[in-house]
Amino acid sequence: MASTSWLISGLSVSPMINSLLPAIATLPVLLPLKRKSSGYGLILIALILLLIVSYLQSIAIVKVQFLLLISFIATFLFGIGNEMSQLTIQRRIVNEKGLPVNRLRTSSELGSLSGNILTGMLFPAIRQYFPALLLLLPLGQLAYRNKQETSQVGSISQIRTEIPFNKLCALQGLVFGSLFALLALWVRSIGEGNCFDFGMLLAAYGIGRSVNRVLPTFSQTIKYPLMAALLILTQFTSGIGAAVLFVPFGALAASTDAALVESMAPMGGDAPLRWQVLIRSSSAGGLAGSLLMGMFTQIFGLNAGLPLQVFAFLAAMILVGRRTSTSLHETSA
């Protein structure tokens, strides 16, 4: 996703076009897709298509509109394949390897972090997609193994088919979806940064999310204005300075996610189910947020995006942070 975001920002400076990418990537999460490991093949096909796009971009013999179309199709295929195969493959790994669900989630986050670092260090795009394809090929053997689906184990088995919708999680997704929708374009156009700067921002954000437990305990309502303040501070720094600010930003973001999951305890179900509620509901909000930010900045200019984003975090302080704090207080009482 990070590599493709940077690729699209290089093909078009239109905020609306760039905001379509995360919206298209999120859409499969909201579709009633059948869970089957064979969907993994769509992920490999998508990477091959993106590899072709990156090559055609480097030799500049194909119209940009065609490259954008193929990139969006590949992103949609990747999202469908991931949504179809992810749970089935996770079940096989847990069942055959005896890997705890928490370790599986941690490994996934470390994989995303490594991908963001590679995005910054490997350029042009063709150097990013080729290693990604090679790294994903071994997992295809597990996905296409000719055997009956493994039984559900551990907490993964408790994930229900119908995931309830949560308004607070959707608002959370709206705020962060609008932020990351145009991050690559902001780095390239406003910050005059390069692919390395973009990759390091995402890597710093990932590091922050992984160390969020070291944050001191304080009210949820404070975390959102703190994130708004960190975003403002990035405008006065560049390169490594901005990346450093994204470490506490990522920690605060992960902390608010965890608080939302904890606040849903009264609804019943285990933690994995509540995380699925967060993912599904925030995906719907993220889709809306990315499109709204794209339309707004398309009309008023990219520079107008930051004040709107800061306002969104301040609004989230009241709409999400305060209600989350109330729910946590009632749960602990």
Residue 18: per-residue pLDDT: 95
Domain that holds residue 34: 2-332
As given in the structure block, the two tokens for residue 299 are 């009309």
- What CATH code is carried by the domain that includes residue 212? 1.20.1250
CB within 8 A of 156, min separation 6: which ones?
Answer: 87, 90, 91, 94, 101, 272
Peptide linkage before 124 cis (omega within 30 of 0): yes
Burial of 121 (0-12, 13-18, 19+ CB in 10 A): middle
Alpha-carbon distance 195 to 11, whole Å?
14
The one-character DSSP state at 265 is G
What backbone phi and psi angles, to 5 degrees, belong to 161?
-70, -45
Element (H, E) at 118: helix 101-121
The pLDDT of residue 180:
92
Could you give the CA distance from residue 82 to residue 229 in angstroms, rounded to a whole number? 35
Measured CA to CA, the distance from residue 249 to residue 45 in angstroms comes to: 34
3-state secondary structure 187-211: HHHHCCCCHHHHHHHHHHHHHHHHC
CA angle, corner 177, sides to 249 and 318, nearest 5?
A: 70
Residue 84 has a pLDDT of 84
Report, as ranges of residue numbers, the positions in the chain whose pLDDT lies below 70: 90-128, 131, 138, 140-162, 268-272, 329-333
Q: How far is CA 115 from CA 2, 53, 158, 183, 199, in A?
A: 8, 19, 30, 17, 9
DSSP 141-198: HHHT-SSPPPPP-GGGGG--SSPPP-HHHHHHHHHHHHHHHSHHHIIIIIS---HHHH
CA angle at residue 184 from 182 to 190, to 5 degrees?
A: 85
Give the span between the Cα atoms of 89 and 147, in whole angstroms: 12
User: Per the structure block, which two tokens stand in for 190?
Assistant: 């406003």
The whole-number pLDDT of residue 270 equals 62
CB-count exposure of residue 285 (10 Å: 0-12, 13-18, 19+): buried
**234, 200 Cβ separation under 8 angstroms:** no
pLDDT in tens, 135-173: 777 676 666 665 444 444 334 444 444 678 899 999 999
Residues making up the chain, counted from first to last? 333
Domain count, the chain: 1
